[in-house]
Structure 1
């Protein structure tokens, strides 16, 4: 009996121990895991920016002062931004919230359309993250664009209440209304601690170098203007474009205007002082946008604020800004070289301005005007572009090793500059070429051409494009016997564009395009042409050349086949080119051009010349002096060029192609490549290409 009771007590004791252990483990899990998760969830702001939450700003909540001497190295925590080389610059936007004071009065007012556009641009960019722990930079949902709406103390307190504020570290405050005189402070008296300011109208006294970002002021007027105003026929040389200038400036400028009529000083119209879309010059009334469009230079002076929308307005119309504002920090000056587009002048040296500006050559004025329009369109024409430029500058500060070059920021794309779509600057000696022969029914000349070609040392394959759907190609047993592979492709339709299709059988980089009647070339000429092409792989290198000329009477282009010193085309009846151009012709060239070629059974060689010239801005290269490429055995009825309308159609094609491309890309050159020892009195053993013929 005693033993039995002892056993029961022992079992009961063990159960209590197990229960105690289980409860201890459960409490540990609740304390270590569940409670922190709940607290984290409660503290984490909601990421839905459309769900507005209301916060009460206490009357006595702390207000931090702005750190006046911040730099990117002491007020910015770069360790929040990770250590990856790319992709670690992320921006977090606080959820939309409504802040009110203890009396229920809203702080900051309703979010403006402009600020909403900026936040939307960030959300839709690759910089955005909805996870604050991943963020490098934080942006408040409190609208700070317009400083005139601020309740300074309450707004500062609302910023300090942001969950990740930490005295403004890694936060950016956006503002687009420049400060007013006398100190022109961009953010007035908001206490932003260590936050960066992306603001407009900075002066050099308040701008914190390498920390703040000077941005542009978005102009609704400029966004509605056309950007194609010519500088050549503008009647006015230089105009003031502000109506709110100080009376001292107006008086001084009018005295200059009386001596020099090339200056026009406009003022606010006295009979309609509230209409800012019109200005007056004496008794003459102008639309504000008109004076921008008809002036070569726009003089911009300090007004009630250090900067306003006139800079964007002038840039949009190509009116070259003359900025006579001392100590102004221009938008994005960190990356934009404004000297390429504007004239920086001292507001105290206006007497000498006209003499200096008058000495700027016309070509330089045109260049500056074009640069103005490009800078506006690229960086200032929308809130989205202003925002993305700001974030890109911040990203480059963090990763200077991957920053864009000066040229990327400041050189506008030039359609006339040479560019190559190919990667390799040269081809290897062992690559060789594929001969692509377009044929229809001239079997005899086709076979003769193949027998001649098979002796070319660099020939790798012969591809015959049989373009006759009513007659099959000859049986294989009658084709010339060669060690070079021959592949015959029978097309589904008789189209000249078939010769430029990117056939998978073309395995070499180089293509020698041939008509089946080109029997006058020699092996040395073909081999020399291939060697020249290897030095210029992105251009057409070949034998028959043509040119285009401008007709002043008809104001049109003309196709020219006469022998001239200048050439602008090399016909693809006998020419080398890179196989990339087959793909570009088939898939990238404007479809209207290929339709013109196929509908007219003409101009495919002109189309290929246009395509390559428009892409590379380079001329073709003619090799050897040979000019005669007529088939001696062919009858006139067999040749497309024998048609009476052939030349007229080719002239029409040139004008059509130029209209489609929007310019004339063909380049006239006086250049021809011949072997070095061509016609020199050297023994044949010393010459590599002896069989290079004359005309």
Structure 2
């Protein structure tokens, strides 16, 4: 029997072939996609290039050529104008949204094309453009800020010369400005003016209807200047360079020179009195009769002629008075000659005041106290004179030596307002005297938190407030020990068993004599680096305030860190330093009645302070805190640090006659202390500062559980 079999074979799937086919498809798709991306990129770049090319053709760079033959623009008589808005600030008159077109976080500045603006009768609004305004526009156009596209400009500058009000017709010029195509009420426009006002009033600002425009002007007073909006300029002197010195001259013939023309008769009379009293120290010059040459001056007494401003090179100090206008040529002429200016101008806004720290480049004397000027400058040490001269040369070379530098500095001011994150720091804009600010304590920058602090309480007889203070200090987390210094030899202290029961050790030390300096003795019981020196009547501080002050001290262990602050000021009338206890914007001392110090300073006070100063402090029962501030500042060249806003530190439970500071003579003696210590140290080491340390979140409306320091007093 034959059996036939049929074998069925199934078709086997070829995975390799399928994979190859799919791979080729995806590969082709990838190359097509890549090609499309490249094509789109090329087209995009080409479109940008074409747009840029088209824009460059549309907006051409302004050319400063042929100012004698400019196209005329006729100003209609009915052109509306908007007067200067005296209430403008950076926040309500400046459109910051126009300033985001640059890819470099930089403002862009547009200059209008040069045109001649005339009225319907052909009368020009201004005279021919001055050399100074031509240089001004040239500096802007050649600067990094310039743009030819007004639509992308942050600042717009008219090509109408407004530097000198005497060379323009105010009404017609105002209409010319208001007719500019991008004027928009003056928004983001910058007007430059050096000579404002006219006889007899001589207004401190140019009398033009500029609406909301910014004004960069010379001669502002504190009433006309719009803080944070306007830009104060110097009055540029075209002859200042004639007296410029390249090197600082140490020895000069005259102490003071007054060379301004036609100064106020009252000022001249005061100067002549001084010249008679201080012969060969003060030189008074005025215009030479019948010559009419600004570069010549004649001595008021001898009538001898001198080349000006070269003669300023022979004087250490130069007077700068208020004339018919606030701004005077004499300022730049003095700076160029490296002559330290003495400002006798009450209420003036100084050039680039937010950039230049004029305290390091000039002397200030109130107009009513001109008679004290010799006494004021005679007390300035030769070292301080050299510092002033160095700073004068620095600011003149950097900011005032040319129209270009004045203009670029003005634009830099606007740049810093728009992009404050890129603003230059103080050391970049001023000549900083390099001092040895090294830490004299030779330990790490930040003290370790675990060590805590020792509270040293100086007390005499106030048992109740002493116990209250100890109880409050015991709640401060970083407190390690309490050291009570009993300064009363006539009465025994209460036994330790009667002291408040706290978890931290209390040590009681009885002194042999009642001296304020006892608080700074380097007691062996002090085992921590941080020491809180505190009076027994300072019972108002909270534990949060004390703990926060300790945290601040850890960051600045070489400084005095504390609560009550004071200030020293120079008195031009008495030519002495004055102790100031009023609340001001500056501090230069933190009183040791409630302050953290490193224990090293107690050792230095005891072993290194001149014995005659310590004896004076102990004899008068006053000024040990001022002496400690002098000691620390002299060693570190650094200011103290005030913490928290609390200002009132009077003991509510204490009787006035128990408080040393209740004596009226106390304040007088403290002024005497400052002058005595200054003489003993050979200089004024105290440094003023305009800040204090506060906890970051203590005033923010956050839940208390998110804040570390909640109980911070306000006063």
TM-score (norm: length of structure 2): 0.50
Q: What is aligned with 2:412?
A: 392
Aligned-partner SS, 1:174? strand
* Post-superposition CA distance 1:630-652 (Å, at most 9, x none): xxxxxxxxxxxxxxxxxxxxxxx
> Is residue 267 of structure 2 the alignment partner of residue 267 of structure 1?
no
Aligned to 2:145: 127
Cα distance in 1, alignment partners of residues 201 and 220 from structure 2? 10
Q: Do 1:174 and 1:199's aligned partners in 2 also have CA atoms closer than 8 Å?
A: yes
Equivalent residues of 2:110, 2:156 under 8 A apart: yes
Match of 1:112 among 100, 111, 130: 130
- Select the residue among 274, 291, 313 that pairs with 1:256: 274
C-alpha separation in 2, matches of 1:417 and 1:341: 22
Change (3 A) 1:175 1:279: same
Match of 2:594 in 1: none
Distance 2:155 2:204 in 1: 20
State the distance in 1 between where 2:216 and 2:183 align.
Answer: 17
> Once the 2 structures are TM-superposed, how far is the Cα of residue 112 of structure 1 from its aligned partner?
1.2
- 273-282 vs 367-376, which moves further: 273-282
What root-mean-square deviation, in Å, do the aligned CA atoms of Structure 1 and Structure 2 show?
2.7
State the partner residue of 1:539.
Answer: none
Aligned match of 2:158: 140
- Give the CA deviation at 1:106: 1.4
Match of residue 358 from structure 1: 378
Counterpart of 1:370 in structure 2 is: 390
Compared CA separation, residues 311 and 220, structure 1 to 2 (3 A): same
2 CA distance for matches of 1:286 and 1:50?
Answer: 39
Aligned to 2:239: 221
The reply on whether 1:279 has 2:298 as its aligned counterpart is yes
Per-residue deviation, 1:234:
0.8
Distance 2:432 2:119 in 1: 50
Offset of residue 183 of structure 1: 5.9
Contact conserved, 1:170 with 1:195, CA < 8 A, in 2?
yes
Please list every run of 5 or more consecutive structure 1 residues that lacks an aligned counterpart in the other structure. Answer: 1-36, 419-695
The Cα offsets for residues 347-392 of structure 1, whole Å up to 9 and x where unpaired, read as 1111222111100000110110111111101100011111110001
Whole-angstrom CA distance in 1 between matches of 2:118 and 2:290:
43
Partner of 2:431: 411
1:334 matched residue in structure 2: 354
CA contact (8 A) 1:239 1:291 kept: no
> Residues 271 and 255 of structure 1: is their aligned pair in 2 closer, same or farther, counting only changes over 3 Å?
same
Q: CA deviation at 1:158?
A: 0.3
Task: Find the aligned partners of 2:144 and 2:107 in 1 and give their Cα distance.
Answer: 9
**Aligned 8 A contact 2:72 2:118 in 1:** yes
Aligned partners of 1:338 and 1:178: how far apart in 2? 23
Pick one of 218, 234, 237 that aligns with 2:255.
237
Gaps of at least 5 residues in structure 2 are 1-50, 439-715
State the partner residue of 1:73. Answer: 91
1:145 to partner: Cα distance: 0.9
SS at match of 1:286: strand
Give deviations 1:135-187, integer Å, cap 9, x for gaps: 00000011111111110110000001100000000000001124467765344
- Alignment size in residue pairs: 378
- Specify which of 188, 201, 207 is matched with residue 189 of structure 1: 207
Q: Are residues 363 and 220 of structure 1, via their aligned partners in 2, closer, same or farther at CA, if it must alter by over 3 Å?
A: same
Shift of 1:416: 12
> Contact 2:105–2:419 (CA<8 Å) still a contact in 1?
no
Superposition deviation, residue 334 in structure 1: 0.9
Q: Paired residue for 1:317, among 309, 324, 337?
A: 337
The structural deviation recorded for 1:235 is 1.3
User: What is the CA-CA distance between 1:280 and the residue it aligns to?
Assistant: 2.1
Contact persistence 1:278–1:288 (CA under 8 A): yes
Does residue 1:93 correspond to 2:111, yes or no? yes
Alignment counterpart, residue 402 of structure 1, candidates 422, 429, 433: 422
| Separation in 1, partners of 2:371, 2:357 | 26
Q: Distance in 2 between matches of 1:417 and 1:309?
A: 39
Does the CA-based 8 Å contact 2:126-2:168 persist in structure 1?
yes
Residues 258 and 284 of structure 2 are in contact (CA less than 8 Å); yes or no, is this contact kept in structure 1?
yes
Q: Could you tell me how far apart the structure 2 residues matched to 1:186 and 1:229 are?
A: 35
Distance 2:244 2:293 in 1: 25
Aligned twin of 1:444: none
Q: SS in structure 2 opposite 1:278?
A: strand
Which of 382, 395, 401 does residue 381 from structure 1 map onto? 401
Match of 1:220, SS? coil
Q: Which among 55, 73, 79 is matched to residue 61 of structure 1?
A: 79
Report the Cα offset of residue 92 of structure 1. 0.5
* Equivalent in the alignment of 1:155: 173
- The alpha-carbon deviation at position 256 of structure 1 amounts to 2.1
